[in-house]
């Protein structure tokens, strides 16, 4: 007989909760859609022993059960909803040995909900260096629970944790504090009104503005209306509750925890002195960013070139080896180039998440938030907007989700609205191919022109994000209270395992989620390009050979293919928008790529690959094919003017359905994604138009 139990992993941010989760579940974890840093629901499976399997949920990091952000309310919603299939049999609260006092606040709250609660004290490897010693048996007795003292860094104590989990039924569920002691009248009255309910649960329902729609309303039915006292009175009660909890914690730790400060060495103040220095702090941050962008471009180009040529030859071989027919064509002209358009992203995405996860894991990101808050506030943003703006360089979707820990609604909304201006990795292949085509090689004081152009595009993305944030902050009439509380965690050497899992997870979700769209669009495009209405398409061979009697062999076939494409469904579609895009310097083929890019930008290169491989059979890389494309007057289609106009169009236009969908979800209205779509696309059109007109 095998049994399965539900485990919820809770803890303050920066306690190594995710490390514990990673160590327990390894690569068996599932991550919902596109998470930022522990933002979405993460689940995994862990075998505790031969007969017991654990289903573990890694809940977002939270300082207490009193939610002040959307992230945190996820935690309460789960813990209050007994009917949920994920409702935990046992809750595990992960704490950091160095911040035990503050971390225990959450532990007392969770335990008071009546859920069997186990305490994990992590980072045991730091104890010696910090001069900390703990009397575990006494602490277990005082807190009335079981404790696992572990170190994920040194992989110690995890067997003990598993054993405690197997024996979870032995855990006590007695509350740590009595709410009645805080305000006798109020809580007695509450208890009388809802005699069958647990008091602390009622209290949470009353004080939280959590969305309880999904929760069993019958059980805590009218408790939210039980506001017999004004809000400020309730808040004072919450403060009293906090004081009460700290009294309990202080009393407990006094006898069980000894910190010998003489023995402690202080890495924090040494590093802080440089990293948040008034001048050098910014210089270091700028250098780090530059290094990241340079390496993404440089290091990725080698595997990317390899991927590009591999798929080109794969497509060619498929055509040669398989019997001619519809299926072979679909494979060689639709599916393989489409897949190539997905795989080519992997190096860049992986590098970017590698760096972002290093910055997060080391504790440096909080320092950046601290340094940037004042400056960003001028533009109506928040120091915490730095994380979305930086993760936006990977993908706007996790970035929009990462805004959830900005407590101020107006600042959060502005961050959501401007984040898509940052140069996401889907724009990178578009930029990369256009830069290679239209920007000459060569260098200026050791900086090559192509690299400078890319840097310029990143800067202009950030710049536009800031400018529009400033405009929005002046025009949006939203009153919301500004709170800014950021923990400055200890510096830590990032764990390779955590970084590795982040890179793997993010890359995998990106490839599978975005990949589905790209592949579907590639196939759709192939169909649209391979079929057409009317006689022009079906009689292409005849028409072309009659009109060009002197053409023979390869040249004739190319001419026929070009004629077919022009009269296919997609050719007609592209031609129909040509009048609108001609002033920007684009032809109908780029028009097709633009249309398909509205599903997702990364489709651009894949689309051109599909269109051009339909048009020509020779084994060529997409870049050389684009380079040889000419206008009616014989000038290259992709020259400086049209190339830069196209890059700027991609820099500003809102061309990502998935981002719009996530903005709709996060703002809970169609208003904001609609404003984003039309505002950004109009801006892109105007700028691309003026650029082309000036440069050509």
Does 405 sit near another protein (CB under 8 A)?
A: no
* Nearest-approach distance from CB 12 to another protein, in angstroms: 9
Q: In what order do the strands lie in the sheet with 3-11?
A: 30-31, 42-47, 52-58, 3-11, 90-96, 117-122, 147-149
Residue with tokens 């992203």: 345
Q: How far apart are CA 489 and CA 64, in angstroms?
A: 17
Residue with tokens 């703002």: 667
Q: How far apart are CA 135 and CA 153, in angstroms?
A: 22
Q: How far apart are CA 476 and CA 566, in angstroms?
A: 46
* Nearest-approach distance from CB 206 to another protein, in angstroms: 14
Among 163, 189, 221, 239, binds another protein (CB under 8 A): 239
Among 50, 169, 261, 374, binds another protein (CB under 8 A): 374
Does 369 sit near another protein (CB under 8 A)?
A: yes
Does 492 sit near another protein (CB under 8 A)?
A: no
**What number of CA atoms fall less than 13 Å from residue 345's CA on the CB side?**
31
* Nearest-approach distance from CB 33 to another protein, in angstroms: 27
Among 269, 475, 479, 550, binds another protein (CB under 8 A): 269
* Nearest-approach distance from CB 241 to another protein, in angstroms: 10
| For another protein, the closer CB: 269 or 550 | 269
* Nearest-approach distance from CB 372 to another protein, in angstroms: 9
Q: How far apart are CA 148 and CA 20, in angstroms?
A: 12
* Nearest-approach distance from CB 387 to another protein, in angstroms: 14
Q: How far apart are CA 237 and CA 49, in angstroms?
A: 44
Does 484 sit near another protein (CB under 8 A)?
A: yes
Which region among 82-90, 326-334, 371-379, 662-670 touches another protein (by CB under 8 A)? 371-379
User: Binding to another protein (CB under 8 A): which residues in 246-265?
Assistant: 246
Give me the helices (H) in 257-385, please. 267-275, 280-321, 326-329, 336-343, 346-362, 364-377
Which region among 138-146, 176-184, 347-355, 364-372 touches another protein (by CB under 8 A)? 364-372
| Cα–Cα separations (whole angstroms), residue 622 to 330, 373, 616, 625 | 18, 44, 11, 5
What Rg, from alpha-carbon coordinates, does the chain have? 30
User: Binding to another protein (CB under 8 A): which residues in 574-633?
Assistant: none
Number of residues that bind another protein (CB under 8 A): 39
- Beta-carbon contacts of residue 447 (< 8 Å; ≥ 6 apart): none
Using an 8 Å Cβ cutoff, are 376 and 11 in contact?
no
Does 472 sit near another protein (CB under 8 A)?
A: no
Give one DSSP letter per residue of 372-411, joined into a string.
Answer: HHHHHHTTT--GGGHHHHHHTTT-HHHHHHGGGG---HHH
| For another protein, the closer CB: 243 or 682 | 243
Closest alpha carbon to 99 in 487, 649, 531: 487
Among 59, 93, 349, 371, binds another protein (CB under 8 A): 371
Does 515 sit near another protein (CB under 8 A)?
A: no
Among 232, 265, 546, 550, binds another protein (CB under 8 A): 232
Among 102, 130, 575, 664, binds another protein (CB under 8 A): 102
* Nearest-approach distance from CB 277 to another protein, in angstroms: 9
Give me the helices (H) in 567-656, please. 569-581, 588-597, 603-615, 622-627, 640-652
Does 486 sit near another protein (CB under 8 A)?
A: yes
Among 86, 140, 180, 487, binds another protein (CB under 8 A): 487
Which region among 143-151, 283-291, 307-315, 366-374 touches another protein (by CB under 8 A)? 366-374
Which region among 24-32, 369-377, 556-564, 666-674 touches another protein (by CB under 8 A)? 369-377
Q: Return left, alpha or beta for 62; rule: phi > 0 is left, psi -120 to 50 is alpha, else beta.
A: beta
Among 289, 488, 556, 557, binds another protein (CB under 8 A): 488
* Nearest-approach distance from CB 458 to another protein, in angstroms: 24
Which region among 132-140, 335-343, 485-493, 556-564 touches another protein (by CB under 8 A)? 485-493
Q: How far apart are CA 26 and CA 152, in angstroms?
A: 12
- Beta-carbon contacts of residue 244 (< 8 Å; ≥ 6 apart): 177, 181, 182
* Nearest-approach distance from CB 238 to another protein, in angstroms: 6
* Nearest-approach distance from CB 278 to another protein, in angstroms: 5
Which region among 128-136, 240-248, 512-520, 688-696 touches another protein (by CB under 8 A)? 240-248
| For another protein, the closer CB: 12 or 613 | 12
Q: Are strands 447-448 and 443-444 parallel, antiparallel or unpaired?
A: antiparallel
Which region among 100-108, 415-423, 536-544, 595-603 touches another protein (by CB under 8 A)? 100-108
User: Binding to another protein (CB under 8 A): which residues in 50-89?
Assistant: 63-64, 66, 68
Nearest 5°: phi and psi at 636? -60, 140
The two tokens of residue 677 are 């779509």
- Beta-carbon contacts of residue 467 (< 8 Å; ≥ 6 apart): none
Among 489, 515, 643, 673, binds another protein (CB under 8 A): 489
Does 276 sit near another protein (CB under 8 A)?
A: yes
The two tokens of residue 98 are 């160095």
Does 381 sit near another protein (CB under 8 A)?
A: no
Q: How far apart are CA 164 and CA 119, in angstroms?
A: 10
Residue with tokens 């110690």: 156
| For another protein, the closer CB: 106 or 402 | 106
| Cα–Cα separations (whole angstroms), residue 115 to 29, 78, 499 | 24, 12, 32
The two tokens of residue 595 are 């249309």
The two tokens of residue 278 are 């008034």
Using an 8 Å Cβ cutoff, are 111 and 81 in contact?
no
DSSP 628: T
* Nearest-approach distance from CB 97 to another protein, in angstroms: 12
Closest alpha carbon to 615 in 573, 561, 537: 561
Among 383, 398, 532, 591, binds another protein (CB under 8 A): 383
| For another protein, the closer CB: 122 or 568 | 122
Which region among 146-154, 231-239, 386-394, 654-662 touches another protein (by CB under 8 A)? 231-239
Does 407 sit near another protein (CB under 8 A)?
A: yes
Which region among 170-178, 192-200, 270-278, 515-523 touches another protein (by CB under 8 A)? 270-278
Q: How far apart are CA 287 and CA 231, in angstroms?
A: 47
**Residues interacting with another protein, by CB under 8 A?**
63-64, 66, 68, 98-99, 101-102, 105, 232, 235-236, 238-239, 242-243, 246, 268-269, 272, 276, 278, 366, 369-371, 373-374, 383, 407, 482-490
């Amino acid at each position: 007989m095998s049994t399965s139990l539900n485990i919820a992993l809770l803890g303050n941010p920066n306690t190594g909760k995710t490390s514990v989760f990673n160590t327990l579940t390894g690569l068996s974890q599932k991550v919902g859609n596109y998470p930022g840093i522990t933002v979405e629901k993460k689940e995994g499976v862990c075998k505790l022993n031969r007969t017991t399997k654990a289903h573990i949920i890694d809940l977002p990091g939270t300082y207490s059960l009193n939610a002040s952000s959307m992230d945190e309310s996820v935690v309460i919603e789960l813990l209050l909803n007994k009917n949920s299939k994920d409702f935990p049999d046992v809750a595990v609260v992960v704490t950091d040995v160095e911040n035990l006092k503050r971390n225990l606040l959450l532990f007392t709250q969770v335990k008071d909900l009546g859920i069997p609660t186990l305490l994990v004290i992590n980072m045991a490897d730091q104890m010696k260096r910090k001069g900390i010693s703990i009397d575990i048996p006494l602490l277990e007795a005082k807190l009335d629970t079981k404790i696992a003292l572990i170190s994920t860094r040194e992989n110690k104590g995890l067997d003990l944790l598993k054993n405690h989990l197997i024996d979870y039924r032995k855990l006590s569920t007695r509350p740590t504090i009595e709410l009645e002691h805080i305000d006798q009248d109020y809580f007695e009255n509450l208890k009388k009104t809802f005699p069958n309910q647990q008091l602390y649960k009622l209290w949470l329902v009353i004080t939280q503005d959590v969305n309880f729609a999904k929760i069993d309303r019958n059980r805590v039915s009218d408790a939210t209306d039980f506001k017999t006292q004004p809000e400020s009175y309730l808040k004072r009660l919450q403060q009293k509750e906090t004081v009460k909890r700290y009294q309990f914690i202080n009393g407990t730790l006094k006898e069980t925890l000894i910190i010998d400060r003489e023995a402690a060495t202080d890495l924090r103040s040494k590093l802080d002195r440089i990293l948040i220095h008034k001048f050098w702090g910014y210089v270091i941050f700028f250098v780090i960013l530059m290094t990241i962008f340079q390496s993404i471009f440089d290091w990725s180009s080698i595997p990317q070139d390899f991927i590009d040529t591999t798929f080109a030859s794969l497509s060619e071989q498929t055509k040669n080896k398989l019997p001619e027919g519809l299926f072979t064509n679909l494979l060689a002209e639709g599916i393989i180039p489409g897949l190539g358009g997905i795989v080519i992203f992997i190096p860049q995405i992986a590098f970017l998440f590698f760096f972002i996860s290093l910055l997060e894991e080391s504790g440096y990101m909080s320092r950046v938030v601290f340094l940037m808050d004042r400056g960003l506030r001028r533009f109506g943003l928040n120091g915490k907007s730095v994380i979305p703006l930086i993760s936006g360089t990977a993908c706007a979707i996790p970035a929009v989700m990462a805004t959830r820990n900005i407590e101020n609604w107006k600042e959060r909304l502005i961050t959501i609205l401007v984040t898509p201006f940052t140069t996401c990795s889907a724009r990178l292949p578009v930029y990369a191919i256009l830069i290679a085509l239209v920007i000459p090689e060569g260098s200026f004081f050791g900086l090559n022109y192509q690299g400078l152009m890319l840097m310029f595009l990143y800067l202009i993305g950030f710049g536009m994000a800031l400018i529009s944030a400033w405009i929005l902050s002046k025009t949006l009439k939203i009153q919301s209270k500004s709170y800014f509380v950021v923990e400055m965690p200890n510096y830590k050497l990032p764990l390779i395992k955590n970084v590795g899992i982040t890179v793997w997870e993010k890359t995998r979700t990106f490839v599978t989620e975005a990949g589905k769209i790209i592949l579907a669009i590639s196939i759709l495009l192939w169909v649209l390009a391979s079929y057409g209405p009317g006689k022009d398409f079906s009689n292409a061979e005849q028409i072309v050979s009659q009109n060009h009697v002197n053409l023979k062999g390869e040249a004739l076939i190319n001419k026929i293919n070009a004629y077919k494409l022009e009269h296919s469904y997609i050719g007609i579609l592209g031609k129909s928008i040509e009048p609108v895009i001609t002033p920007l310097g684009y032809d109908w083929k780029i028009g097709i790529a633009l249309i398909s890019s509205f599903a997702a930008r990364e489709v651009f290169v894949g689309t051109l690959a599909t269109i051009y491989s339909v048009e020509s059979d020779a084994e060529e890389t997409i870049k050389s094919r684009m380079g040889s494309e000419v206008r009616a007057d014989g000038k290259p289609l992709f020259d400086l003017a049209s190339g830069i106009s196209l890059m700027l169009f991609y820099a500003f236009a809102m061309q990502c359905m998935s981002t719009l969908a996530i903005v709709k979800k996060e703002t809970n209205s169609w208003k904001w994604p609609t404003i984003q779509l039309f505002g950004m696309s109009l801006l892109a059109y105007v700028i691309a138009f003026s650029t082309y007109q000036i440069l050509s």
